[in-house]
Amino acid sequence: MKMLKASYIVTLLSSIGLFNSCTGNLINMQEVQSHYAYLGRKDTLYGNYLAGRVAHIRQDYENASRYYVKSIEKGLNNEEILGRTYIILASQGKIKESVKYANIARSQGDKNNFIDVINAVHEFKQKNYAVAREYLEPIGEKTYKNLITPLFNAWSYVGEKDYKEAISSLDILKTQEDIETVYNLHAGMISEYFNHNDIAEKYYTYVINNKKEDISFRALQIISNFMVRNGKKDAALSLISKYYGASNIKEMLASLNQKVKESNSSTDKLIENPNIGVGEVFLEVALLFKSVPVGYDYAQMYMAISEYFNPNNDVAKIAMADIFEERSMYNQANKYYDSIKRNSEMYYPAQIKKADNLFTEKKYDEAASVLKKLLKKNPKNFQILFNLGDVLRVNNNQIEAIKYYNEAIDSIFYETEKYWPVYYALAVSYDKNNEWDKAEQSLKKALDLSNRHPQVLNYLGYSWLKNNTNIDKAAAFIVEAYEKEPNDGVIMDSLGWVYFKTGDYQKAITYLEKASELNPSNAIITDHLGDAYWLGGRKNEAIFQWKQALTQKEENDELNRKRVKNKIENGLRKKDAYSLKDEKIKETLEKINEITQ
């Protein structure tokens, strides 16, 4: 559930001015490069400043803040460097250090209202609740007045043990229809904190029954915890079971279900102090920003504040790791995943994501190791088996990949369309393992399940062409794939190859050139274009394309390098062209060509 609406994003982005002094858009790469030599100098002001900028560009925030602080200590304390410093420190959750430099910046005229936010957060953590409220009070921006400040103030009154004022602070949220769930969840948590359980139950019931929005996993954790402690374990289990259909979080739900079964009325509250409560506020704001790419910097900032208040919220850890993933900072993301304990509901998705990151970094052995450890406790888990098959297939361990893909298929209780990718992947492994008959059968199964997905049509059709079998059917499948995905470079290549196999080299060139434009780094497409050029009478261009194919990385493992080198030296011998017998396919090919021309 998106607890906050996207309508709040624009006003926050336009008014906070959070990264107006530190975004990459303001970093001059040419300047950094021209002065890079300074970084080797002995601890100079300018050397530290440049080191900080380079680290900042590389998104190495730990070193960026360290070098910026050093440059300030040596006298470089203008508004720009101060702004970068307190923002980055805050984004790392180093609020005390951030406040120091934010206040220096304020004394020099920096009017960024995030300085007030940082001070409010710092004072709240020190239990100076009244002072914390004073810092947020002057912020006149609508989203603060109508959302963040009321929630923040409510939890500050919780810190002062004033239930009446805490609930009253939330009144402004009641009048806003699009954040009724936020109001009721926080009112419920506050009432629960003060042991007003009958009142808390009413608020939580609203959250559960709100038909306008799905409930968030975090809200499920909080409400099920409340139910268990109030002797309603069966109701908690029933609530969780309602969401088992959400397959993307079923492992989390299963873990939460088990935790509830093992809990009793003496189980600890999740919201055991005001810091945890206000941490939920900043988590919700962070998730709002995280829902749009332009908000990732802001999301990291608010997520860090949430973590500052509650370092044990695994939902926040998953969200923070996801931000790092979006920035391709996989090591940092995996550090968050590794911080999640085995008994957490978030452990399974964290480890799956960790394996995904290792896979992305081509650390295939490490990714496989993570997945095999998960498999020991989840031996029939489809997703783990499928992912493990993918890792092994890409790492060219086809025999093991085939084993795990088949185990994944065996784990399926009821086959539906969503399972076609595992049959497709299995076919690829069979094909790479020179077991075409089995690959063909798997592709046909994938074709049926996927409602004739264009990628499956293309793979099967192109494979028939490559094996010089079922030429008419191959052409029909490729044409159907092309009609569904006319801008796919790989499918365009197959269409060009249909013309090539049937001896129409000029038309083959037309489509293979387009395929090459769409996929300029694909070695197979480039090789095909070279073949068409040669038999189309453009021999110098053919040799150039073949040489290019040898240097390209995409699909390079599929390229017969020895054959390509032989073509460069000796050219390509013309073979007899195939003749299509199906008049309907021939007519369709002509129509496609007329439209293209």
pLDDT at residue 477 tops 90: yes
Percentage of residues in the chain with pLDDT exceeding 90? 67
Task: Write out 503-569 in H/E/C secondary structure.
Answer: CCHHHHHHHHHHHHHHCCCEHHHHHHHHHHHHHCCCHHHHHHHHHHHHHCCECHHHCCHHHHHHHHH
Range from 64-68, 273-277, 480-484, 567-571 carrying the lowest mean pLDDT:
64-68
Angstrom distance (rounded) from CA 190 to CA 187: 5
* Burial per residue of 306-321, b for 16 or more beta-carbon CB atoms within 10 angstroms, e otherwise: bbbbbeebbbbbbbbb
Is the pLDDT at 28 greater than 60, yes or no? no
Which domains are seen in the chain, by residue range? Answer: 7-261 (1.25.40.10), 452-596 (1.25.40.10)
Q: Where residue 245 falls among pLDDT bands split at 50, 70, 90?
A: low
The answer to whether 296 and 326 have CB atoms below 8 angstroms apart is: yes
Separation CA 299–CA 286 (nearest Å): 4
Candidates 293, 225, 210, 216; CA nearest to 259 is: 225
CA dihedral 553, 554, 560, 565 (to 10 degrees): -40
Q: Which residues contact 291 (CB under 8 A, 6 or more apart)?
A: 2, 6, 9
369 against 574, higher pLDDT: 369
Q: Which residue has the tokens 């900043």?
A: 282
- What pLDDT was estimated at residue 98? 94
- pLDDT reported for residue 216: 87
Tell me which amino acid residue 132 is.
A
**Residue 76, exposed/middle/buried by CB under 10 A (0-12, 13-18, 19+)?**
middle
Instruction: Name the band, by pLDDT with cuts 50, 70 and 90, for residue 596.
Output: low
pLDDT band of residue 247 (cuts 50, 70, 90) is low
Burial call 178-210: b when 16+ CB within 10 Å, e when fewer: ebbbbbbbbbbbbbbbbebeebbbebbebbeee
Mean pLDDT of the chain: 88
Q: How is residue 578 annotated by DSSP?
A: P
Other CB atoms closer than 10 Å to residue 264's CB: what's the count?
10
In this prediction, residue 580 carries a pLDDT of: 86
Q: How confident is the model at residue 456 (pLDDT cuts 50, 70, 90)?
A: very high
**What average pLDDT does the segment 408-434 reach?**
95
pLDDT of res. 248: 64
Residue 54: per-residue pLDDT: 84
Q: What is the pLDDT of residues 531-552, one digit of tens each?
A: 999 999 999 999 999 999 999 9
- How many Cα neighbours within 13 Å face the side chain of 491? 19
- pLDDT interval class at 142 (50, 70, 90): confident
Q: What pLDDT was estimated at residue 42?
A: 56
DSSP string, 30-57: HHHHHTGGGGGSSS-HHHHHHHHHHHHH
CA distance 419 to 446: 8
d(CA 134, CA 126): 14
Measuring CA to CA, which residue among 283, 349, 269 is closest to residue 313?
283
Three-state SS string over 229-291 comes to HCCCHHHHHHHHHCCCCCHHHHHHHHHHHHHHHCCCCCCCCCCCCHHHHHHHHHHHHHHHHHC
Q: What tokens does 388 get?
A: 């493990």
Helix (H) or strand (E) run with residue 134 in it: helix 129-136
Rg (C-alpha) for the chain, rounded Å, is 30
Q: Residue 290: pLDDT band by 50, 70, 90 thresholds?
A: confident
Residue 10: per-residue pLDDT: 43
Looking at residues 296-301, what average pLDDT do you find?
85
- Per-residue confidence at 2, pLDDT binned at 50, 70, 90? very low
Specify the higher pLDDT residue, 99 or 210: 99
In this prediction, residues 445-455 reach a mean pLDDT of 96
The angle formed by the CA atoms of residues 419, 337 and 333, to the nearest 5 degrees, is 95
The rounded distance, in Å, linking the Cα atoms of 495 and 525 is 11
φ, ψ for residue 527 (rounded to 5)? Answer: -65, -45
Looking up tokens 């720009």 gives 80
pLDDT of residue 29: 38
Among the listed residues 110, 101, 168, 146, the one whose alpha carbon sits nearest the alpha carbon of residue 8:
146
Best CA proximity match to 279, nearest among 243, 247, 316, 253? 316
Per-residue pLDDT, 16? 45
Burial class of 106 by CB neighbour count within 10 A (0 to 12, 13 to 18, 19+): middle
